[in-house]
Amino acid sequence: MKFDQPAGRNPVDRQRVVGKPHDRIDGPLKTSGTAPYAYERHDVVPNQAYGVILGSPIAKGRIRRIDAQAARAAPGVIAVVTHENAGKVGKAKAITAKLLAGPEVDHFGQAVAIVVADSFERARAATHLIAVEYERAEGRFDLAKERDAAVKPKMSGDEPDTAVGHFDAAFADAPVKVEQTYTTPNQSHTAMEPFATIASWEGRRLTVWTSNQMIDWARRDLSEVLGIPRDDIRVVSSYVGGGFGSKLWIRSDAVMAAVAARVAGRPVKVALARPQIANNTTHRPATIQRIRLGAAADGKLLAIAHESWSGDLAGGQPETAAMQTRLLYAAANRMTAHRLATLDLPEGNAMRAPGEAPGLMALEIAMDELAEALKMDPVALRIANDTQVDPEKPGRAFSHRDFIGCLRIGAQRFGWERRVAAPGQVREGRWRIGMGMASAFRGNLAMSSAARVAIDGKGEVTVSTDMTDIGTGSYTVIAQTAAELLGVPLAQVRVRLGDSDFPVSAGSGGQWGGNSATAGVYAACMKLRQTLARKAGFLAGDARFDGGRIVSGTRSFALAELAGRSGLTEEDGIEFGDLTKTYAQGTFGAHFAEVAVDVDTGEVRVRRMSGAFAAGRILNPKTARSQVIGAMTMGLGAALMEEAVVDTRLGYFVNHDMAEYQVPVHADVPVQDVFFLDEVDDKSSPMKAKGVGELGLCGSAAAIANAVYNASGVRVRDYPLTLDKIMR
Ligand code: MOS
């Protein structure tokens, strides 16, 4: 099904099942510990051996010699695999890092060897017996130092730089200005489920049970790395304990399990230990962002400039932190630029809301500083600079943009009018109290997505698609979509996900999954509806689907009866046309936070978080809210805690475990109020929905930073806002 015209009225508009706060259908499996994650698939293939990866202790250089004799002779060891005996291990085009080192070493923690043994403990013990001689080379590990050497990157898809009007002249003439530099640190995704894979060969055919967000990309990349046909690879990822972008692409667990299983001649299971993850996989790259805002006395922006520097391994991509600044606020004169330095750190890549998450951390403090300079309310400043068209391409309207609605409703629900504008004025004992706000924006992406829908002689519906559920609620919203379209109870719909044997879906990334994957299921269900109507002798346009029956006028048939003993199956997908180009598509919101700052220690406690969001039709208010409060919590971590600290001499992330890499725990998270505006976007898909998985993170850290300023009068421009920075 091609989607290239705005959606008219369609069966989803009835909203009998879609749009309702159904519990997650995978909830009982998750809460009872019976949803099988990759490493727990003990049953899928017999004779599984254990693989443990040895990572490089140097960040850059060469392997001179590997002596694995002692490891091979250790008790229980079945095989030791290095670049010398792994067979062909290439590089996937879409993945910057090589997933097996040798002889070159590209980053600290890069896989150098895998030991396969009959127990995990024996495999791990034997990794310590491998003697590797390295030749260490100079590396570049410090973004601040490499900033001047950064270059204009070649980007996949977007332009690195844009310019409209005359920024320099307009900024020079602007009556009120802000010019500041902000920094955001490297961050680690820190998903609860580690990277894990079981790999098994049957002749030339490879099956991996793994933890991955994008099944078809995994198949493509494994095919490129191992040099085997795509059709010989099956990827299964039924449940994923968090990805946040780290599992968009395969990592060393999948590749090393596959090569180890080939050498060992039996299935091998591999999980990365927690301390390996930060340096062996990917992270959100640190940024340096320079922002210049020039405004008229009434608050109207005259000039906006946003420049961002980040680093990556050679051949990598920049963190696109200036991207949202092209779309968020009106202003006739504007420029954005991304610069990329080469760093010999582990691969930098997508982490939840790549671009906007760090970009808004900077831009939205700058807007707070501008509001202060203007003596203007921060909410009013944002309202004054709203735009209904792409500010860089004024002929291009937003498909639907109720940013002002979010600001107004959010402010009202939060009680923003009680804020005292002058900082440091409100005190409760040893706490200084403050309020802050920030805008939320995230692009709405659409990806083609296919599904197969079957109905059997009992009227049971089965949906199959390679879509993943990374904790987001995919199982549930897909079931709701099929139940809505076929007029059957939710309990009669079975959803099978995360298997490359199923039709290729949008996968989970960039908050496109919910809208795109359900639109694919919509397409398949519409096709099945036609087939059912034809069987019933009805015109498809006249038929209603209700209570497990197809109804036309006074006549009706049970779907089960039409399906018959052999059942009926249809397959289709959604293909998005030009609507995403002719219209700017985005999701919007406004974040509000109240914090308390200890006058003696600088300790920050977040007391309340509140947000209002406009993201098209909300397919399930319960799962959507869960996404947003999770993202707001992540914003709290980004504001106050998260930083993967680089050892700039040795080139690795020092705090590579959950004891030292701080994320919020329950006691850190306050009351969170989430409000969704009631809207549909007929240009986003037949579902009229958009993404919410990342939106809640966009801007939430800045709202907290601005609240800390309002509480204490201390403006910290380098995240995270730790006590030392506030005290200083
Ligand atoms: Mo998201 S960072 O595209 O999983």
**Residue 293 domain flag:** no
Distance 476 CA to ligand 1 centre (A): 20
**Residue 308 domain flag:** no
The string of pLDDT tens digits covering residues 265-295 is 999 999 999 999 999 999 999 999 999 999 9
Q: Residue 620 CB: number of other CB atoms within 10 A?
A: 25
Q: Do residue 570 and residue 682 come from a single domain? A: no
Q: Could you check whether the bond before residue 275 is cis, i.e. omega within 30 degrees of 0?
A: no
Q: How far apart are CA 409 and CA 667, in angstroms?
A: 28
The string of pLDDT tens digits covering residues 66-123 is 999 999 999 999 999 999 999 999 999 999 999 999 999 999 999 999 999 999 999 9
**Residue to probe by mutation, ligand 1, list 694, 697, 698, most atoms within 8 Å of CB:** 694
Closest ligand 1 atom to residue 350 Cα is 2
**Residue to probe by mutation, ligand 1, list 237, 317, 349, 352, most atoms within 8 Å of CB:** 352
Q: Do residue 113 and residue 203 come from a single domain? A: yes
Residue 37, judged by CB atoms within 10 A of its CB (0-12, 13-18, 19+), counts as buried
Q: Residue 541 CB: number of other CB atoms within 10 A?
A: 8
Q: Residue 315 CB: number of other CB atoms within 10 A?
A: 13
**Residue to probe by mutation, ligand 1, list 156, 248, 467, 627, most atoms within 8 Å of CB:** 248
Residue 725, judged by CB atoms within 10 A of its CB (0-12, 13-18, 19+), counts as middle
Q: How far apart are CA 558 and CA 546, in angstroms?
A: 10
Residue 34, judged by CB atoms within 10 A of its CB (0-12, 13-18, 19+), counts as exposed
Q: Which amino acid is at 319?
A: E
The string of pLDDT tens digits covering residues 210-269 is 999 999 999 999 999 999 999 999 999 999 999 999 999 999 999 999 999 999 999 999
Residues facing residue 66 across a β-bridge: 132
Closest ligand 1 atom to residue 694 Cα is 1
Distance 446 CA to ligand 1 centre (A): 13
Cα R_g (the chain), whole angstroms? 26
Query: Among residues 561, 581, 601, which one ends one of the domains?
Result: 581
Closest ligand 1 atom to residue 245 Cα is 4
Q: How far apart are CA 225 and CA 292, in angstroms?
A: 44
The string of pLDDT tens digits covering residues 380-434 is 999 999 999 999 999 999 999 999 999 999 999 999 999 999 999 999 999 999 9
Distance 491 CA to ligand 1 centre (A): 30
Distance 294 CA to ligand 1 centre (A): 33
- At residue 391, the pLDDT reads 98
Return the structure tokens found at 211.
């933890």
Q: What mean pLDDT do residues 656-677 have?
A: 96
Q: Do residue 530 and residue 591 come from a single domain? A: no
Question: Which of the four pLDDT bands, split at 50, 70 and 90, describes residue 573?
Answer: very high
**Residue 694 domain flag:** yes
- At residue 312, the pLDDT reads 98
Q: Do residue 72 and residue 203 come from a single domain? A: yes
Q: Do residue 437 and residue 402 come from a single domain? A: yes
**3-class SS of residue 629:** helix
- At residue 241, the pLDDT reads 97
Closest ligand 1 atom to residue 248 Cα is 4
The string of pLDDT tens digits covering residues 342-395 is 999 999 999 999 999 999 999 999 999 999 999 999 999 999 999 999 999 999
**Residue 6 domain flag:** yes
Q: How far apart are CA 18 and CA 482, in angstroms?
A: 9
Cβ distance 178 to 292 under 8 Å?
Answer: yes
Q: Residue 192 to residues 95, 273, 518: CA-CA distances in angstroms?
A: 23, 12, 26
Q: How many domains, in total, are found in the chain?
A: 3
Q: Do residue 435 and residue 453 come from a single domain? A: no
Res 1 pLDDT > 90: yes
**3-class SS of residue 72:** helix
Q: What mean pLDDT do residues 301-330 have?
A: 98
Query: Among residues 219, 244, 276, which one ends one of the domains?
Result: 276
Report the CATH number that the domain containing residue 219 is assigned in CATH: 3.30.365.10
Return the structure tokens found at 57.
């202790």
Q: How far apart are CA 331 and CA 276, in angstroms?
A: 46
**3-class SS of residue 495:** strand
Q: Do residue 627 and residue 686 come from a single domain? A: yes
Distance 167 CA to ligand 1 centre (A): 32
**Residue 64 domain flag:** yes
**Residue 161 domain flag:** no
Distance 517 CA to ligand 1 centre (A): 15
Question: Residues, the chain, total?
Answer: 728
Q: Residue 156 CB: number of other CB atoms within 10 A?
A: 7
Residue-number span of the structural domain to which 15 is assigned: 2-35+446-581
Q: Do residue 609 and residue 535 come from a single domain? A: no
Q: Which residues are annotated as catalytic?
A: 694
Question: Which of the four pLDDT bands, split at 50, 70 and 90, describes residue 204?
Answer: very high
Q: Do residue 606 and residue 705 come from a single domain? A: yes
Cβ distance 440 to 596 under 8 Å?
Answer: no
Could you tell me what percent of the chain has a pLDDT over 90?
Answer: 98
Q: How far apart are CA 412 and CA 406, in angstroms?
A: 10
Which residues lie closer than 8 Å to 27 by C-beta, 6 or more apart? none
Distance 120 CA to ligand 1 centre (A): 31
Q: Do residue 455 and residue 555 come from a single domain? A: yes
Q: Do residue 521 and residue 624 come from a single domain? A: no
**Residue 503 domain flag:** yes
Which residues approach ligand 1 with their CB closer than 6 A?
213, 243-245, 248, 350-352, 354, 509-510
Q: Do residue 705 and residue 633 come from a single domain? A: yes
Q: Could you check whether the bond before residue 103 is cis, i.e. omega within 30 degrees of 0?
A: yes
Closest ligand 1 atom to residue 354 Cα is 2
- At residue 541, the pLDDT reads 87
Q: Residue 728 CB: number of other CB atoms within 10 A?
A: 8
548: left (phi > 0), else alpha (psi -120 to 50), else beta?
left
Query: Among residues 251, 276, 301, which one ends one of the domains?
Result: 276
- At residue 6, the pLDDT reads 98
